[in-house]
A = this chain, B = another copy of it.
């Protein structure tokens, strides 16, 4: 269930991001990958189309996207950030073996709100770790 964005440029502009070539390509890669890629995966996948692309640009752009709220940064074991274009609240499962991250249709119950009276909640995150079904069946 890949994220559907008809017009990439329009989508960027709508979020006040100037649609430069690297930004368009990086957003395309995020949509295409659909698997919570890391910086290196994005960078390497674009080298053919954008040979002069700098890894710093990938970092910068992803930070711009995160600031604008069009990507979520997933920190699951601290080694590296993973990026998700699906900004609707949902959870994740990361496989310790293959490093794949799959989506979970889950959101944090509002009962925590009572515990966080007087707090400003900006983000709620849920994830699990373990071994995925594919890795288990090998």
Q: Does A136 sit at the interface, judged by CB under 8 A?
A: yes
Question: How many angstroms from the CA of A129 to the CA of B120 in the assembled complex?
Answer: 8
| A112 in contact with B106 given A75-B78, A125-B128 (CB within 8 Å) | yes
In the complex, how many residues of chain A place their beta carbon closer than 8 angstroms to a beta carbon of chain B?
Answer: 36
Task: Indicate how many identical chains form the complex.
Answer: 2
Q: Is A14 an interface residue (CB 8 A)?
A: no
User: Residues of B contacting A9 with CB < 8 Å?
Assistant: none
A7: interface (CB < 8 Å): no
Of all chain B residues, which has the CB nearest A108? B126
A121 is contacted by which of B116, B126, B130 (Cβ under 8 Å)? B130
**Which of B112, B118, B120, B132 contacts A91, CB < 8 Å?**
B112
User: Looking at the complex, which one of B77, B81, B121 makes contact with A128 (CB distance below 8 Å)?
Assistant: B121
Which B residues are CB-close (under 8 A) to A116? 93, 104, 128, 130
Residue A40, interface by CB 8 Å: no
B120 touching A131, Cβ below 8 Å: yes
Residue of B nearest to A96 (CB): B122
Complex contact B124–A128 (CB within 8 A): yes
- Say whether, besides A126-B125, A128-B124, A104 and B109 are in contact (CB < 8 Å): no
* Chain B positions within 8 Å of A105 at CB level: 115
For residue A9, give the distance in angstroms from its CB to the closest CB of chain B: 31
